[in-house]
Structure formats: C-alpha cells, structure tokens
Structure 1
Amino acid sequence: MFDETFIAMGIRRIAIIGSGIAGLTAAIKLKEQGHDVSLFEKSRGPGGRLAAKRVANGSVDVGAQYFTSRNPEFLPFLTRFAGNSSFTTWDGQFGFQGKDGQWQEFPDEPRYVGIPRMTAVSRALSAHVTVTAETRIERIVRNDNGWVLSDRAGNVQAVEFDSVIITAPPAQARDLLVQSNLPEQAAYLDDAVTRVLPCWAVAAHFKETPWPRHEGMRCDHPSLFWVANNSSKPGRKGEDQGGRGSWWVLHASSEWSQRNLETTPDQVAAELIAAFRELTGSDLMATDSVTHRWLYARSEGGSSPGHLWFPEQDIGLAGDWLSGGRVEGAFDSACSLVSAYVATDASR
C-alpha cells in the first residue's frame, strides 16, 4: 500500500552520492519538490572541498579557501538553509603575483568563508537532509524496481531508488559507472578526468606573522599556487597557539603536486614551508604543521555543460567541474541538474 501511494503522489526515491555543495544543493531542492532523498558520503561528514583539519585549539581550512557569489540565487539559498551565522565576508587584502614577481591587487569582490571553519556551511546545509556517512558506494545495479546501491564493504542498501545522482569527482564518478556496467555514460567523463588536477595542502603555524601585507596571495612560484593567513578569517582568533602567531595555508601548484604525488607528507611540508619562506623573505620557522593531499582538487579547461543527465537511465551528474570549477559552480551545476530532472519528471 505504501509503495502504491508513493507512486500515485509522484514522489520518487532519489539517491545522491557525495555530500559536497552540489550534492547538498540537489538534495535540498529535490526534497522541496516532495521527493524522498538519501545522500551517501564516503567521509565522516559532509563538505567535499569545504574541508578543514584539526590543529591545536581549532582547525584550518585546507580545501576551498573562500567562495564568491555571482549567481543572485546562491546567497539567498545559503541564508535560508545554512543561516547567516554559518558564513560571512572575509575582508582581507589579497594579492596577485605577476610574472615579474611584483604584487598586484586582486579584483575587488566580496569573498565569503564559513564560521568558524569552511565546513560550517556544509554542516548547516546537511541538517535539512538525510546523510549516511562513511559509506563509499562502489556499484549501482538496476532491477525491475529501481537502482540498488552497494558499498565497498559489500553491503546493499535496503531501498531501491528511482534515480541516482552522482556528485563525486569525475575520476571517481567514472569508476562507479564502469563498475556498474554503464560504459557509455562513463565515456562522457574521459576528458574531464584528464583535466582535474591534484594539490598538496600544508597548514603551517608561525609564532609571528611572516607576511603582514596580504591575507591571501595567488603566487607565481614553481612550488606554490596559493597561500593565505587562515587566522585572519572571521571566527578564527582562538586557533593560534597560546594566543600568539598565525596559521597559514599553503597550496602547492598543480605541476609540483603531480610530480610529488607519492612524496611523504613530512617532506611535502618541509619543501612547501621552505618555498613559503623564500616567497615572503621571512626567516621565521614553522612551529607546527599538518598536511593533506587532494588527488582531485580543481578542474582546468574543457567544456562546462553545467550537468550531465541521462533520462533513460535516470542517472545524473553534478559538480563544480561541470560548471566553471568554483564553489559556486557546484551550486550552479546542481540547480541546472534539478531543473533537467524536474522537466523529465513532468513529462513522464
């Protein structure tokens, strides 16, 4: 009787794999449409590239450093579902290093960060949906009643889903489609896989501020792509050690990261901190550090179709890599996929 009522009301069961901004946005918007939505996340909690690592007395943002809002619907969405207390503007000085080594000012636009860490945004959004964490979905199989999901441990989800939305990075999404005997759909991701670049991230603590001129810097350096004073962000004042100094986040360049994919974390930290001291001309030594390797950090080049939707299979893909690569691009991608899904649903 329950299933008959479900179908009669037009409510569909939808599985979303990945709980970054794309997955959370799609889940919230589809839930608003009246659908029954379940998210599956391989990590301990939601966030995707809005990631932070624990350090003494707090945490540091090791993934996306901030986000912008050029889509007029993005901030109202965050305000409604994450709340004003979960994010605010980061009013710092930002520099861009030219090929001549000279520093120029970044374009002036509002930049937003989560409070007290970037994950605050995704945590707040996840309160509106059902997220099953620490569950890596490795295979989906379609039977007469819908899609059945299996995780790495071989466990099969009890619910059969009408639709599946994948918001994992393209390499992981392609692997999932291949393992699910969906080679035609997987082939759509071949080019995107080659365009997603790795990044080593190091958070380093200094007893004094090694560079007072900028809070965030895009570097022209063989090793470094971006450095930022994490302690300068709103809500982070208690995250230094003993109330002194500052935590800086160093993102390696894609080329350096690719060459050093298998380098030990300790060696990565030593080399990137040395590069940072060279860049700033500072003789300060780091007193602590943490390291994180991003195999799929950002997408570079290629087409930006917004989303991928296969109506015959009821499978969709969304993510920032489909819509420009920025954090806001994940929101844009999810919105465009939901629009395609609703249009298909209306024509059934």
Structure 2
Amino acid sequence: MFNQTTDVTVIRRVAIVGSGLAGLTAAILLQSHGHDVTVFEKSRGPGGRLAAKRVNGSSVDIGAQYFTARNPDFLPFLARYAGPDSFAKWHGRFGFQAPTGDWWAFPEEPRYVGQPRMTAITRALSVHVPVEAETRVGKLARRGDGWSLEASGGRDLGEFHQVIITAPPAQARALLADSGLGFLAEQLNDAVSRVLPCWAVAAHFPECPWPDHEGMRCQHPALDWVANNSSKPGRNGQGQWWVMHASSAWSQQHLDTAPDRVAGKLVDAFRELTGYPGMPDEMLSHRWLYARSDGGGQPGHLWFEENGIGLAGDWLSGGRVEGAFNSATGLVQAMASQG
C-alpha cells in the first residue's frame, strides 16, 4: 500500500503535529498521494518515543527498546524511506521472570532496533518531508473549510485543509480544548486516564553485570524492564550501558522525585535483581510522563471527517512501535476514502 501513489484532483494542505513514527509515516504517505504536508515538532528533532541520548563513545536508547514487524508492509516501508541500514535485528537473549522468580525465555520472534540508535529511523524518515522543529502548536482556529494554526507563542503557522495530531492523548486533548473543540477533547478522556508514566535510567558498568540475558521483563516492585543496550547492533564503546525502565506504579509514586535519586533507587533495584555487587560509573535519567496506554479502546486511529481532524499514534493501536505505523496508515486510508 505504501509504495502506491494516488491520482488526486485536489491537493490538500495537511498539518501534522508531532514527528514521531506515526507523524512521519502519515506525512510520507500523504505526500506520496500528492498532498502538501508540513510536520510541526516541539522538540529539537524528530523521534517521539524512539529516543536516545548520546554518551561517551556511543548512545543509549531511553525510550522504546525494540520493535516487531508483524505487519508485512512495515519493514519494506522502513527500508524504502529510512534505508535498510537504519535498522537491524537484535540477536539478544530475552527472558521474563515468573512470579516464582524463575526466568523463562521470550517467545521466538524477530526483534529490531534502530542502528546505531533508535533515533536513526525517524531521523532518516524526516528528510523526506518538511519538518518545523522547536515549534509547539498551541491553537487551531477555523478558517473557512480549513484550519489556521498558531504556535504557543502566538506565531502564525499558516492555513491548512486538514490537521493530524500524533501527540500523546493528554497533549492532544489539551490542544483540542484550547482550540475550542471541547466536544472532540472529551472523546479522549478515557485514553488520557489510561496513559501511564515511566522513569528510565541508563547506567554504565565497566564489566558485564548480568550474563544471562540481553533483555529482561522483570517481576520487581521497582523494575519492569532491563536491557543491555551495548548488545544491540551498531553500538560501541568500552564497558556496557544498561537501560532500566521502572514499573508504572513505581514511576507514578516517584513522579516528582529528583532524577539522581531515581537513578540511585533503580540501580539498587537492578543490583538486588541480578545480585551484581558493583556500581555503575555513570548514570542518567529520563522521565516519560506519557509512556504507554493501559488497555481501553483500540480503534487504530480517529478521523473526524466533518472537522478535518485526525489522530494517530501507538496508543490507538496496541501500544507497540509498530502500532504507530499501523495507526498512521489506517488514518491515511480513511482520509483517502473521503475523496
């Protein structure tokens, strides 16, 4: 589907809020259909939850840790628009901990990562479409049959026929409410209530602290996920960087805890989990306020045809990285069927 173009009689101007995987996928597909797209990103660069931080001699993934490719269109899309060298299989040993404390192997399934960091994928995708970085969309205003966009500082961003919002549901709801679209904002109330936070900590060890797995789903009050980031393809540097994701409940309890204290607590939990006696020689923390969605309706996407406003994101399609792609492709198909 993604490599087909459609003859269009009307070229629409479409604004896309957010340059994560969903936003960039939607932008590329709409542009391939002949539409004029502009992506607005509040941060300095694209990525969304495909996030990484540079560290001495390497980088460390602090957001999504890997992705699957159950949709047969997903990998060909990435290969064409991000390039076949922007991602690779992660040949790690993955385990999950049973309530008894025993470790079991993950089901066999190819798992992929961006190379040499997760952001390599969105950086490569972003070169195909116009992206206005460091631009937070603050308000939509009706202009005829379209929308005028205004930045949070009041700057005019132009007029568009349609708008796609790929921000997390809390941010999407706020934008709609600030735009006088309360009737649409209210439809996100349940989704907002289901989005959970996550503290992420990256710690560097001079030696391997745990030789049994490269990725672990944990049964621990503080830890949900632990991974050897240095085992992923394309990573280099001395020693090993490990990434720790706190559980949603623990993250909620420590939402306002200082980052250095969070790092210390999660490293202590990691040492308790693994029995490793040593300490890391470097640590960094990142708080994700909107990490994942806990159940609820999964319609794939939302398309309000009468308003010309669509929403896409992994939170609408299973919560996985691949879900962002599925959500965006579904939304573009719905918009195309409008004619």
TM normalised by structure 2 equals: 0.97
Give the match's secondary structure for 2:156: coil
The offset of 1:169, in angstroms, is: 0.1
Contact 1:269 1:291 in 2 (8 A): yes
Q: Identify the residue that residue 310 of structure 1 maps to in structure 2.
A: 304
SS at match of 1:202: strand
Which residue pairs with 1:220 in the alignment?
219
Report matched runs for 1:58-73 at 5 Å: 58-73=58-73
2:277 alignment partner AA: D
Task: Specify the alignment match of 1:78 in structure 2.
Answer: 78
Alignment partners' CA distance in 2, 1:151 and 1:260:
32
Q: Which residue of 1 aligns with 2:322?
A: 328
1:277 paired to 2:271: yes
1:280 counterpart letter in structure 2: T
What is aligned with 2:130? 130
Q: Is the 8 A contact 2:58 2:236 kept in 1?
A: no
Cα offsets for 1:274-325 (capped at 9, x unmatched): 0000000000101001100000001111010000011111000000000000
Unpaired runs of at least 5, structure 2: 1-7
Give 2:332's aligned amino acid: V
What's 2:233 paired with?
234
Secondary structure of 2:291's match?
strand
Which among 241, 251, 254 is matched to residue 260 of structure 1? Answer: 254
CA distance in 2, matches of 1:144, 1:167: 24
1:182 and 2:181 matched = yes
SS in 2 for 1:64: coil
1:17-36 mapped onto 2 (5 Å cutoff): 17-36=17-36
Distance 2:153 2:283 in 1: 33
Structure 1 CA distance, aligned partners of 2:190 and 2:271? 37
Partner SS, residue 292 of structure 1: strand
CA deviation string 1:37-95 (max 9, x = no partner): 00000111011000001211121000000000000110111111111110000000000
Tell me the residue number matched to 1:107. 107
**Structure 2 contact 197–248 (Cα < 8 Å) conserved:** yes
Provide the C-alpha distance between the structure 2 equivalents of 1:152 and 1:176, rounded to a whole number of angstroms.
10
Answer whether contact 1:16 1:23 (CA < 8 A) is retained: yes
Runs of 4+ in structure 1 off by over 2 angstroms are none
Checking the alignment, whether the CA contact within 8 Å between 1:14 and 1:37 is kept in structure 2 is yes
Higher mean C-alpha deviation, range 282-291 or range 147-156: 147-156
In the TM superposition, residue 254 of structure 1 has moved relative to its aligned partner by: 0.2
The correspondence for 1:289, drawn from 283, 288, 291, is: 283
1:209 aligns with 2:203: no
User: Which residue in the other structure is 1:54 paired with?
Assistant: 54
Equivalent residues of 2:301, 2:311 under 8 A apart: yes
Contact residue 57 and residue 236 of structure 2 kept, 8 A = no
Cα distance, 1:146 vs structure 2: 2.4
The one-letter amino acid of 2:278's match is: L
Separation of aligned partners in 2, 1:143 and 1:74: 36
2:167 is equivalent to residue 173 of structure 1 = no
The answer for the alignment partner of 2:4 in structure 1 is none
Cα shift readout 1:183-219 (whole Å, capped 9, x = no counterpart): 1111110000011100000000011110010000000
Q: Which residue of structure 2 aligns with residue 42 of structure 1?
A: 42
Q: Which runs of 5+ in 1 are unaligned?
A: 1-7
Q: Within 2, Cα distance between the matches of 1:320 and 1:112?
A: 17
Identity rate of aligned residues, in percent? 66
Q: How does 1:142-153 map to 2 (within 5 A)?
A: 142-144=142-144, 146-153=146-153
Q: Please list the CA deviations of residues 113-142 of structure 1 after superposition, one character each: whole Å capped at 9, or x if unmatched.
A: 011000000001111101000111111101
Give the aligned length. Answer: 332
Q: CA deviation at 1:151?
A: 1.2
Superimposed CA distance per residue, residues 161-195 of structure 1 (whole angstroms, 9 cap, x where no aligned partner): 00000000000000000000001111110000011
* Alpha-carbon spacing, 1:182–1:193, altered in 2? closer, same or farther (3 Å): same
**How much has 1:9 moved relative to structure 2?**
4.0
Question: Alignment partner of 1:160: what SS?
Answer: strand
- TM-superposed deviation, 1:237: 1.8
Matched position secondary structure for 1:92: coil
Name the counterpart of 1:5: none
Question: 1:117 — aligned with what?
Answer: 117
CA deviation profile, 1:225-257 (whole Å, cap 9, x unmatched)? 00000000001023xxxx2x2000000000000
The answer (yes or no) to whether the contact 2:314–2:323 under 8 Å persists in 1 is yes
1:143 Cα shift? 1.5
What is the CA distance between 1:145 and its match in structure 2?
5.9
Q: Distance in 2 between matches of 1:170 and 1:109?
A: 30
